[in-house]
Structure 1
Amino acid sequence: MKRRCLVAALAMAAGVFSASAGALEFRSVKETGVALYEAPSLTAKKLFVVSRYYPVEVLTSQKEWSRVRDATGGIAWIPTAALSSQPMLLVVTDKAEVRAAADGAANVLFTVPRDGVVEMLASPSAGWVKVRHRDGAQGFVRILDVWGL
């Protein structure tokens, strides 16, 4: 009896983990001044306003609305039309150093302060991701310094 309960519990846990192991969907906000709402309605309470390029994780979508999570873990609703598929990353450390190569010993090209946003240019590899600043400068940043992957 104990063995059957253990097998059932393990099977349930495996189902939960495999269901949550799907790819995360990150999007960015298309324009400045987009409100995030408590519910999927323009008449719902506005929770806060986000700026252009701000990355969010899409949890679910229904009709014209998407339920999203931000870097702080906050959950809100946003009109799906306000989202872009342009991959943007939010700096979550005090300062992200963008380097000439994917190597901690490489020259620092520029830094991005906390809450700064950079565009992701390539998939992460070996703890680094290639990014571009809005002024066009490119380099590599540690994935631990950014959110939105």
Structure 2
Amino acid sequence: MKSARLFVLCAALLAVTGAAHALEFKSIGPVPAVFYDAPSPKGRKVFVAPRGMPVEVVLTYGEWVKVRDMAGDLSWVQARALVQRRSVVVNAATARVRSAAEEAAPVVFTAEKGVLLDMVDSPVGGWLKVKHRDGQSGFVRVSEVWGE
């Protein structure tokens, strides 16, 4: 009986821990942002992130946010440089953006690796609705982009 309670307690803790580690993404705001190696403007500048670049939020420390970029590199950026509006970046050699969220739908446009797309809606069934800065929109496979 004691081991059964311990098992239930451990399972509950694992469930809470898993929920606490949900990924949070934001994007760089309307102006490029300096990434630092420490949460201070006195830290070493390591990168200038372009506007719209998606980042994964790892930790918030006062006015600073530790972020992970598409390459997996960790840096610090001032919180005011980030916005809630979401972007994704193509991580496949060529992503096919389709007119509907299905493989058989016609291709609206293609996007090469590194192209930034605005996220229009949350992912559904492995597809994400996106919009290119030229105004074209459609659905891309979640596996072909990073930042969602």
Q: TM-score range by the shorter chain?
A: 0.7 to 0.9
Q: Calculate the TM-score normalised by the size of structure 2.
A: 0.88
Matches of 2:50 and 2:72 in 1, distance apart?
17
Query: Which residue pairs with 2:129 in the alignment?
Result: 130
Pick closer, same or farther for the CA change 1:94–1:32 going to 2, 3 Å.
Answer: farther
Matches of 1:9 and 1:75 in 2, distance apart?
35
1:82 aligns with 2:104: no
User: Cα distance, 1:18 vs. partner?
Assistant: 3.1
Query: Which residue pairs with 1:103 in the alignment?
Result: 102
Matches of 1:14 and 1:47 in 2, distance apart?
40
Pick closer, same or farther for the CA change 1:49–1:95 going to 2, 3 Å.
Answer: same
DSSP-derived class of the 1:15 partner: helix
Query: Which residue pairs with 2:17 in the alignment?
Result: 19
Identity of aligned residues (%): 40
Runs of 5+ unmatched residues, structure 2: none
Let me know the Cα RMSD of the aligned residues: 2.1
Runs of 5+ unmatched residues, structure 1: none
Matches of 1:92 and 1:11 in 2, distance apart?
40
Pick closer, same or farther for the CA change 1:106–1:91 going to 2, 3 Å.
Answer: same
Matches of 2:123 and 2:85 in 1, distance apart?
15
